[in-house]
């Protein structure tokens, strides 16, 4: 299945005080819904998280950095996970993708009810070397956008606004998704805060702007009409899972030799399923024995490029 890739644009105000980004994440969310067979409410919840995570990942400066965001509320959705790379590519999954829940009082999909308004949002930033950064805050509301903005405000003390949307047609078929991110930079003062607050009072839903034909750059300019913006960059992003057989072997190599040898089931295979893309890897007993023997003899070499036994 070939998908047109989603796009992110990043902008900065000419005075260097405000950063903005917008994403059309329609194809990211479409692929996630296809892979995980999510119900509308879970497509909306996971889609919002993936949209926000893609923007957040694209803000990482290190080329090989990644960010893992986990939301675990007390609601029936269970945990929501998103992993974003510094190039904006993202993947994720939901603990309960088939959840059905009644609409809220406005007859909208009840994402807050699915996620829960109490719980924890965790962020792990892996910069490719050294110890990862780990941050954790209580959920602000269970509405995803508010929770991600709250994370920046509490954990990193950076005033931030998120607008995230996932839209469906009248038959509850997924239609489009997108998001917008506004962040005040360190030199901003009270005047810029007030200007941003005035701008966001009038933001139209992001999915409405996409339906009206707005491009990502036009969305940034529409949400910050009182600022003159310069485009920093624009690039394509996608739902991408880097899993491979080599990665499976690297994971198995963390087990003891005895455990590796006993992984196979009655059919003679060990089955490993990727949470992010549902890929299934079958490893036969002969391969497991070879892996266990290599580890037992301390001849197993595992690197970022694969594994081999000397």
Distance of CA 52 to the CA centre of its chain: 6
pLDDT score at 262: 87
Phi, psi of 290 (to 5 degrees): -65, -40
| Torsion sign, CA atoms 204, 207, 213, 218 | positive
Reading phi first (left if > 0) and then psi (alpha if -120 to 50, else beta), residue 88 is in left
pLDDT score at 299: 56
Range(s) of the chain covered by CATH 3.90.1280.10: 245-309
CATH code for the structural domain at 245-309: 3.90.1280.10
pLDDT score at 260: 87
pLDDT score at 75: 96
Phi, psi of 108 (to 5 degrees): -100, 165
| Two tokens, residue 294 | 């290599």
pLDDT score at 304: 46
| Two tokens, residue 59 | 């803000």
**Is the separation of the CB atoms in 76 and 115 below 8 Å?**
no
CB atoms closer than 10 angstroms to residue 130: 7
H or E element in which residue 125 lies: strand 119-126
Phi, psi of 74 (to 5 degrees): -85, 0
pLDDT digits (tens, 9 = 90+) for 44-78: 999 999 999 999 999 998 888 999 999 999 999 99
pLDDT score at 298: 67
**Is the separation of the CB atoms in 28 and 177 below 8 Å?**
yes
CA dihedral 64, 79, 93, 29 (to 10 degrees): -100
How many angstroms separate the CA atoms of 105 and 101, rounded? 12
pLDDT score at 251: 84
Chosen CATH of 6-237 out of 3.40.630.40, 3.55.30.10, 3.40.50.720, 3.50.50.100: 3.55.30.10
pLDDT score at 74: 96
pLDDT score at 305: 46
Range(s) of the chain covered by CATH 3.55.30.10: 6-237
pLDDT values of the chain reduced to their tens digit, one per residue, 310 residues: 344 578 999 999 999 999 999 999 999 999 999 999 999 999 999 999 999 999 999 999 888 899 999 999 999 999 999 999 999 999 999 999 999 999 888 888 999 999 999 999 999 999 877 788 999 999 999 999 999 999 999 998 999 999 999 999 989 999 999 999 999 998 888 888 899 989 888 889 999 999 999 999 999 999 999 999 999 999 999 999 998 888 888 888 888 888 888 888 878 888 888 999 989 998 988 888 888 888 777 655 554 444 554 4
| Two tokens, residue 220 | 């940034």
């Amino acid at each position: 299945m070939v998908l047109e890739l989603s796009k992110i644009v990043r902008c900065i105000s000419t005075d260097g005080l405000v950063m903005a980004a917008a994403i059309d994440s329609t194809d990211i969310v479409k692929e996630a819904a296809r892979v995980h067979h999510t119900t509308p409410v879970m497509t909306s919840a996971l889609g919002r998280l993936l949209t926000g995570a893609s923007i957040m990942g694209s803000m990482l400066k290190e080329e090989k950095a990644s960010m893992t965001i986990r939301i675990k509320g007390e609601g029936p959705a269970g945990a929501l996970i998103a992993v974003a790379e510094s190039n904006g590519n993202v993947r994720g999954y939901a603990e309960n993708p088939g959840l059905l829940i009644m609409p809220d009082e406005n007859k909208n999909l009840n994402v807050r009810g699915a996620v829960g308004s109490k719980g924890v949002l965790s962020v792990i930033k892996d910069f490719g070397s050294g110890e990862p950064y780990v941050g954790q805050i209580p959920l602000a509301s269970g509405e995803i956008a508010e929770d991600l903005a709250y994370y920046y405000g509490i954990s990193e003390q950076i005033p931030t606004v998120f607008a995230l949307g996932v839209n469906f047609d009248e038959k509850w078929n997924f239609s489009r998704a997108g998001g917008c991110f506004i962040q005040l930079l360190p030199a901003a003062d009270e005047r810029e805060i007030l200007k941003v607050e005035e701008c966001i009072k009038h933001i139209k839903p992001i999915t409405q702007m996409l339906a009206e034909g707005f491009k990502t750059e036009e969305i940034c300019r529409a949400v910050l009409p009182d600022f003159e913006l310069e485009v920093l960059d624009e690039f394509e992003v996608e739902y991408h899972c880097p899993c491979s057989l080599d990665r499976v072997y690297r994971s198995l190599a963390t087990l003891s030799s005895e455990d590796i040898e006993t992984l196979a089931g009655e059919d003679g295979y060990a089955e490993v399923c990727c949470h992010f893309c549902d890929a299934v890897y079958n490893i036969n007993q002969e391969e497991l024995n070879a892996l266990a023997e290599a580890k037992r003899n301390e001849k197993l070499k595992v690197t970022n490029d694969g594994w081999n036994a000397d």
